[in-house]
């Protein structure tokens, strides 16, 4: 399976989904004009990956900011990953990274951890 890589822009995050390692990375800012359109290919890639995932998949999130529409799109992406976890196809771990002084991003990660059935590791990054 091909990896999925997008370079980040001032409005969209860097994406590096690696099928060989099972590490799915999203980092940067997520304020695209149309979040649903931006995240659709990511969700479709994860759906294809879930046919033959690695035994352990790490979903590595390191966002400095995301808007409301990105929040919904991220939730949809988490639900797709959650299906892999619940079905037992792959053990999933979300690593939610946030800067030590960014309480909003920390709280967003905690909120996701309450509503998805995937382990979420909260990782504070020193700035």
| pLDDT tens digit sequence for 68-113 | 999 999 999 999 999 999 999 999 999 999 999 999 999 999 999 9
Contact 41, 4 (CB under 8 A): yes
Domain 4-125 annotated CATH 3.30.750.24: yes
- CB neighbour list of residue 38: distance below 8 Å, 6 or more residues apart: 12, 30, 32, 70, 73
The pLDDT score that the predictor gives to residue 105 is 96
pLDDT band at 127 (very low <50, low <70, confident <90, very high): confident
**H/E segment holding residue 61:** strand 56-66
Q: Where are the domains of the chain?
A: 4-125
């Amino acid at each position: 399976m091909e990896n999925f890589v997008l370079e980040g822009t001032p409005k969209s995050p860097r994406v590096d989904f690696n099928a060989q390692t099972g590490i799915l990375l999203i980092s940067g800012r997520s304020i695209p004009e149309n979040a649903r359109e931006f995240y659709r290919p990511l969700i479709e890639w994860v759906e294809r990956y879930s046919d033959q995932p690695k035994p352990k998949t790490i979903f590595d999130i390191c966002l400095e900011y995301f808007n409301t529409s990105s929040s919904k799109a991220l939730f949809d992406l988490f639900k797709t990953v959650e299906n892999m976890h619940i079905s037992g196809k792959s053990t999933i771990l979300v690593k939610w990274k946030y800067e030590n002084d960014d309480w909003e991003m920390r709280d967003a990660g905690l909120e996701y951890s309450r509503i998805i059935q995937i382990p979420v590791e909260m990782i504070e990054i020193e700035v």
